[in-house]
Structure 1
Amino acid sequence: MIVNEKHVKITEEASHYDELEQMDTLDIISSINNEDKKVAEAVEKVLPKISHLVDEITTRFEKGGRLFYIGAGTSGRLGILDASEIPPTFGMPHDRVIGLIAGGDSAIRKAVEFAEDDTKQAWKDLKEYHIDENDVLVGIAASGTTPYVLGGIHDARSNGILTAGITNNPGSPLAIESDIAIEVVVGPEFVTGSTRMKSGTSQKMVLNMISTALMIRIGRVKGNKMVNMQLSNTKLVDRGTRYLVEELELSYDEAEKALIKYGSVKKAMEALKQQ
């Protein structure tokens, strides 16, 4: 496993701004906004890599495979966030996209000291889900050196599992260790080393692309609508009802009754079109 710590860490380089405490509030947030503008451009440069990864995940997903995210700290939380939104948004089971964080679920809210330094723990966590070669593992680490992530990627790859790494430092151990390296170079952070900022934003953007494109590719979206979303609150029932009104030219009451009867926009559409 590659654990070289000597590569250049752009994420640890000094901010382009100094004496932040001397700035007034508008200067602070304007400067942060100017830095954030660089993120989308950095993500754009790696779109071919993201596209390739989505296609690989789709192939495995259609055979029953799963998508796993692993990370520590902010990176781990972002993976869990993305995974947790798949069931309500696209109606997928909770066990198809899974996010794991160093230190376990308690680390979602409160940092667990030194949890990210164990190179063996990620594989132990993954084995609890019986991960195999039909699955895909995506490691997320701004630094590209997080031991928890590196160990998981190394062990997964050694067991014939496709791996990808999302990092913000070019040439990092994570990029080298992964089958597909997604290196989003956003530059130094506004607050030196605070990778919850631009690096985290870029990771969120990439994860949005991966999961959304995957769900579209496997047929969980129709047109531009979330036709498989869970009807878990009044807002979503209203949204689904309006989808049916638009698609089938029903009255609102008719559409709502059909939606509640069949349980999803997609099922309601299919049933009503057959009548």
Structure 2
Amino acid sequence: MTDMPDLIALSSPTEERNPATTDLDTLPSAELTWRILGADAQVITAVQALAVPLAALVDACVAAIVAGGTVHYVGAGTSGRLAVLDAAELAPTFNAGPELFRAHLAGGPEAMLHAVEGAEDSSDLGAALIAEHCGPDDLVIGLAASGRTPFVGGALAAARERGLVTGLISANPQASLATLADHALLADVGPEVVTGSTRMKAGTAQKLLLNALSTATMVRLGKTYSNLMIDVRPSNEKLVARTVRMLVQASGVDAAEAGRVLEEAGGSVRVALIALLAGSDAAAAREAADRFAPDAARIGDPAGIRAAVASLGTAG
């Protein structure tokens, strides 16, 4: 017989019953969906309240990556799957591979589709992950809706022992793992519409925080010009079209001209953009791009596009 868990350990806002949804199974579909979405609306307020600590974690991620380190996400279940999704989407969007952001899911890749029993309950597995995958300049962010997942706790404790900067993203304002985090983002979203179903509000909060964290980090690292993605990896027709459209939006030239310059630039969006904004040829734009490489310390122009264009005689 399996040992009964400590009831104190089970105490968490994510496990409480929501008094506003005790009649959930009596509702018609229209009222049911209205009630669910109404609860979801509360998540935005809870997440926006974390803007200041989130900014501090962004700065820590930027510092780690600039130093040559990697940001590691560590999670289990829904939290871990959201982390895997966020890290995977950075490659096509910002041309940022696992050398910048890497996600580790309790139970391994198989757990993306199927629950791996017991994986999240092992702190030793979390600690072993840090020993195997983390270097001296890395940063570790744990994700745990309840704020007490042993796998995540083991990883954070091991990271702290090695002197690594740590973060925690949770939906429990009293998360026990917060003591292991230099940066704790604890979203107060309250109990779920369906008791304990943390793929709902808790998952939405974590998804929003991950989106903001990784996007802000990429912007700070010079992966955008204005609000345009200039390091997009054009791996399919949609992304190729997006690249040309972005050059049109940034420079005002027509699509044919943008495509021609992009080809002359060897497919480099940065070089093509500098050439178009400065009215220069691709060779000069490439040299300027090399002189003004992305630099997170270049406030107001981390991508170096404006500086490169100005060096060629035109203000961008």
Cα deviation, residue 5, structure 1: 7.0
Tell me the SS of whatever aligns to 1:40: helix
1:6 aligns with 8
* Aligned residue type for 1:46: L
Query: Distance in 2 between the 1:11 and 1:92 partners?
Result: 33
Give the 5 Å matches for 1:40-55: 40-55=44-59
Identity of aligned residues (%): 39
- Of 93, 111, 117, which residue of structure 1 is paired with 2:115? 111
* Aligned residue type for 1:60: A
Say whether 1:204 aligns with 2:233: no
Query: Distance in 2 between the 1:249 and 1:188 partners?
Result: 49
| More RCO (CA 8 Å, sep 6+) | 1
Tell me the SS of whatever aligns to 1:98: strand
Query: Distance in 1 between the 2:205 and 2:263 partners?
Result: 38
Query: Distance in 1 between the 2:256 and 2:240 partners?
Result: 12
Query: Distance in 1 between the 2:128 and 2:87 partners?
Result: 20
Q: Structure 1 length normalisation: TM-score? A: 0.93
Which structure has the greater CA radius of gyration? 2
Tell me the SS of whatever aligns to 2:229: coil
Contact 1:165–1:181, Cα closer than 8 Å, also in 2: yes
Tell me the SS of whatever aligns to 2:14: helix
* Aligned residue type for 1:52: A
1:169 aligns with 172
Say whether 1:264 aligns with 2:281: no
Say whether 1:215 aligns with 2:215: no
Between 72-81 and 11-20, report the one with greater CA deviation.
11-20
2:149 aligns with 146
* Aligned residue type for 1:87: A
Query: Distance in 1 between the 2:16 and 2:97 partners?
Result: 41
Query: Distance in 2 between the 1:245 and 1:172 partners?
Result: 47
Query: Distance in 1 between the 2:253 and 2:120 partners?
Result: 54
Contact 1:229–1:264, Cα closer than 8 Å, also in 2: no
Query: Distance in 1 between the 2:81 and 2:75 partners?
Result: 7
Cα deviation, residue 250, structure 1: 3.0
- Of 82, 88, 93, which residue of structure 1 is paired with 2:86? 82
Cα deviation, residue 271, structure 1: 4.6
Query: Distance in 2 between the 1:50 and 1:216 partners?
Result: 14
* Aligned residue type for 1:124: A
Say whether 1:226 aligns with 2:229: yes
* Aligned residue type for 2:121: D
Contact 1:72–1:148, Cα closer than 8 Å, also in 2: yes
Cα deviation, residue 100, structure 1: 0.6
Contact 1:83–1:99, Cα closer than 8 Å, also in 2: yes
Contact 1:54–1:210, Cα closer than 8 Å, also in 2: yes
Runs of 4+ with deviation above 6 angstroms: none
Gaps of 5+ in 1: none
Query: Distance in 1 between the 2:91 and 2:268 partners?
Result: 13
Q: Structure 2 length normalisation: TM-score? A: 0.82
Query: Distance in 1 between the 2:135 and 2:236 partners?
Result: 36
Query: Distance in 1 between the 2:193 and 2:101 partners?
Result: 32
Query: Distance in 2 between the 1:249 and 1:20 partners?
Result: 53
CA RMSD of aligned residues (A): 1.6
Query: Distance in 1 between the 2:24 and 2:227 partners?
Result: 43
